[in-house]
């Protein structure tokens, strides 16, 4: 487990000079509030990926070449959207918030971005994949791919329009080309981002000639139940599936994915298993069966970690480290151009 130590007043790398006012920012995290403590979160009970994000952000801020003194106002995104937006509005109205960073999940990020755009406060988005439905006016800065970026990568690099012809040319260069097709299942989180990604990806796959034989949502922590029902209702389609796309919830460890994979092995020829492609997947240390599977791949944003410290090896910690670095550098450069006030 990670041990996380923070200064009570925020991420303050050094004592501020007598005439220096700390720069106030708001950050939003998927962690519970500590009882009876104002704006303090329980990091120890947060998911491992969230703990790594927090450690990475803190470390990136500390190690950046900037010299900003930061007063951090922390918000829990485990409240509902109305509570998050209310708390953020209260912060903005009662503090000189210069920047907002977060959140870990898609819905909280989207609602926060709507608010920061309205108040014209810069917001850095390091974690939320897919689309954020905001009327952008230049204040929301993405570090993550949109649905269109994922769709373009899948449609141009993985399942492109000439794939069937390429397969036929390789397998049957001098013979009669058989009627071959690629059968696809798309199963996605029943939330805004899941629907957005699924629609975009599915449309591109259909345009490229793939057969969409299964298209359905799943509730959080009910992935195995969804596919159990699919095997009961559409056994022939499941048996002949070539590719299964699973678009997860925010920071989804898909703990019941083991059961889904075993389901196919038990019900189908072990030598004829579909390819599983996972999006929005944050693997858990207990997912040993998933790690050993040869037909499971997670599609994630590529990050150049060469400028991170050598001991940062995880995707979530690396992008958080970059976010902390950017936050410090941006605020330091901005402060250097302003008067002392």
More confident residue, 142 or 137: 142
pLDDT digits (tens, 9 = 90+) for 246-257: 999 888 889 899
Task: For residue 48, name the pLDDT band (cuts at 50, 70, 90).
Answer: confident
Predicted confidence at residue 171, as pLDDT, reads 67
DSSP 194-245: HHHHHHHHHHHHHHTT-EEEEEEEE-TT-HHHHHHHHHHH-HHHHHT--EEE
Q: Extract the tokens encoding 293.
A: 């599977």
Query: How many CB atoms are located within 10 Å of the residue 223 CB?
Result: 22
Distance, in Å, from the CA atom of 78 to the CA atom of 81, rounded to the nearest integer, reads: 9
Q: CA torsion 68→104→4→2, rounded to 10°? A: -140
Distance, in Å, from the CA atom of 35 to the CA atom of 29, rounded to the nearest integer, reads: 16
DSSP type of residue 271: T
Q: What angle do CA 317, 305, 122 make, to 5 degrees?
A: 60
DSSP-derived pairing of the beta strands 23-29 and 70-76:
parallel
Across the range 278-288, mean pLDDT stands at 80
More confident residue, 250 or 324: 324
Confidence check: pLDDT of 14 > 60: no
Per the prediction, the chain carries an average pLDDT of: 87
Confidence check: pLDDT of 16 > 50: no
Q: Which candidate, 48, 41, 52, 140, places its Cα nearest to that of 320?
A: 52
Predicted confidence at residue 10, as pLDDT, reads 45
Predicted confidence at residue 288, as pLDDT, reads 76
Whole-Å CA distances, 136 to 2, 129, 130, 334: 37, 16, 15, 22
Task: For residue 268, name the pLDDT band (cuts at 50, 70, 90).
Answer: confident
* Bridge partners of residue 42, in order along the sequence: 32
Distance, in Å, from the CA atom of 26 to the CA atom of 123, rounded to the nearest integer, reads: 9
Q: Extract the tokens encoding 162.
A: 């000439």
Across the range 248-270, mean pLDDT stands at 90
Most confident of 15-29, 66-80, 159-173: 66-80
DSSP-derived pairing of the beta strands 183-189 and 243-252:
parallel
Predicted confidence at residue 35, as pLDDT, reads 77
Q: Are 100 and 125 in contact (CB under 8 A)?
A: no
DSSP type of residue 22: P
Q: Are 74 and 40 in contact (CB under 8 A)?
A: yes
Task: For residue 17, name the pLDDT band (cuts at 50, 70, 90).
Answer: very low
pLDDT digits (tens, 9 = 90+) for 32-43: 998 766 678 999
DSSP type of residue 41: E
Task: For residue 18, name the pLDDT band (cuts at 50, 70, 90).
Answer: very low
Predicted confidence at residue 338, as pLDDT, reads 84
Across the range 290-308, mean pLDDT stands at 91
pLDDT digits (tens, 9 = 90+) for 59-89: 999 999 998 998 999 999 999 989 999 999 9
> Helix or strand or coil: residue 121?
coil
Most confident of 69-73, 126-130, 230-234: 230-234
Span of 49-53, 106-110, 162-166 with lowest mean pLDDT: 162-166
Across the range 185-200, mean pLDDT stands at 94
């Amino acid at each position: 487990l990670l041990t996380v130590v923070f200064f009570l007043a925020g991420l303050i790398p050094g004592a501020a000079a007598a005439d220096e006012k700390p720069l106030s920012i708001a950050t939003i995290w998927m962690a519970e509030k500590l009882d009876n403590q104002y704006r303090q979160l329980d990091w120890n009970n947060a998911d491992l990926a969230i703990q790594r994000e927090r450690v990475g952000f803190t470390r990136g801020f500390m190690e950046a070449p900037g010299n900003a003194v930061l007063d951090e106002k922390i918000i829990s995104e485990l409240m509902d959207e109305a509570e998050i937006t209310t708390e953020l509005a209260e912060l903005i109205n009662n503090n000189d918030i210069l920047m907002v960073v977060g959140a870990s999940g898609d819905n909280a990020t989207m609602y926060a971005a709507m608010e920061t755009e309205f108040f014209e406060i810069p917001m850095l988005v390091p974690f939320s994949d897919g689309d954020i439905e905001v009327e952008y006016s230049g204040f929301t800065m993405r570090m993550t791919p949109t649905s269109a970026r994922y769709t373009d990568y899948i449609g141009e690099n993985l399942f492109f329009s000439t794939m069937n012809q390429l397969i036929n040319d390789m397998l049957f260069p001098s013979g009669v080309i058989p009627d071959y097709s690629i059968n696809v299942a798309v199963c996605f989180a029943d939330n805004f981002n899941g629907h957005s990604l699924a629609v975009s990806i599915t449309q591109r796959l259909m345009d490229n000639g793939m057969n969409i034989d299964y298209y359905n949502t799943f509730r959080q922590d009910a992935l195995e139940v969804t596919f159990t029902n699919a095997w009961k209702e559409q056994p022939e389609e499941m048996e002949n599936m070539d590719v299964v796309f699973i678009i997860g919830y925010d920071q989804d460890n898909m703990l019941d994915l083991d059961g889904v994979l075993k389901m196919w092995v038990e019900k189908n020829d072990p030598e004829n298993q579909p390819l599983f492609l996972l999006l929005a997947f944050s693997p858990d240390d207990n997912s040993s069966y998933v790690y050993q599977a040869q037909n499971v791949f997670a599609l994630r944003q590529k990050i150049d970690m060469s400028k991170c410290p050598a001991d940062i090896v995880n995707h979530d910690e690396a992008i958080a480290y970059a976010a902390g670095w950017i936050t410090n550098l941006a605020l330091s450069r901005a402060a250097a151009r302003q008067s002392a006030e």
